[in-house]
Amino acid sequence: MLPDEWFVQEVLSHEAELTMFLYKRWSHRDEVKDLRQEIYARLLKYAQTLDSEPANTRALIFSTARNLMIDRIRRLQVVSFENMMDFESLNVIDSEPGPDRQLEHRTELLALKNAMDNLPDRTRAVIYLRRVEGISQKETAKRLNISEPTVERHLAKGVRKLAEVIGHGPRNVRQSNKASRQNNS
């Protein structure tokens, strides 16, 4: 089935239920129709990237609605008690992230892959052996025929560059390392 046909047959059949869901959970009633349209736009865009129909269209619709409302609340920077939602009452079981989250994760993975490709060969090899393969520092040094302190330096350099690329920056890396050391104490 084409994405447009799927949308008309499978998504629009839930329009009344979606509208009621939005009215019950979104305090700004004048925005409900806009929210619904944005949900439809996200669903149609997501459907155009798929090879087959989603397994559970209803769950996809309501998880997209939930994610959109969460995004809107985050943008407001102030969470009012009116906007707090009881998502468990929907009883939609969906372990998959929504289409917007999947796209976000794909983009992050692509950025990470590109960042890895741009690392110097030795640094990339150290990162791969230590973080991906889980090999000890001593074994990494032995395999690459370098000293353990050199492994440490390459690892620190690589992690710092990767963190900068994916938006965590060197400052946040130091803070998260410090926090993890404190938690391990």
Of the residues 63, 98, 133, which one is the last residue of a structural domain? 98
- State pTM to two decimals: 0.42
**Among all chains, which residue has been given the structure tokens 């996200």?**
42
84 and 15: one domain? yes
d(CA 18, CA 88): 16
**Among all chains, which residue has been given the structure tokens 């004048």?**
30
User: Token pair for residue 40?
Assistant: 């439809």
Out of 76-85, 92-101, 169-178, least confident range: 169-178
**Among all chains, which residue has been given the structure tokens 């976000």?**
104
DSSP string for residues in 134-183:
---HHHHHHHHT--HHHHHHHHHHHHHHHHHHTT-HHHHHHHHHHHHHHH
- Model confidence pLDDT, tens digit, residues 51-74: 777 888 899 999 999 999 888 887
90 and 126: one domain? no
Residues spanned by the domain of 7: 3-98
pLDDT band, residue 36 (cuts 50/70/90): very high
Query: Looking at residue 136, which CATH number applies to its domain?
Result: 1.10.10.10
d(CA 54, CA 63): 13
Answer yes or no: is 110 within a domain: no
Mean pLDDT confidence for 128-143: 89
What percent helix, strand, coil does the chain show, rounded to 5?
A: 75, 0, 25
- Model confidence pLDDT, tens digit, residues 155-184: 899 888 888 877 654 444 444 444 444 544
- pLDDT cut 70: percent of the chain above it: 79
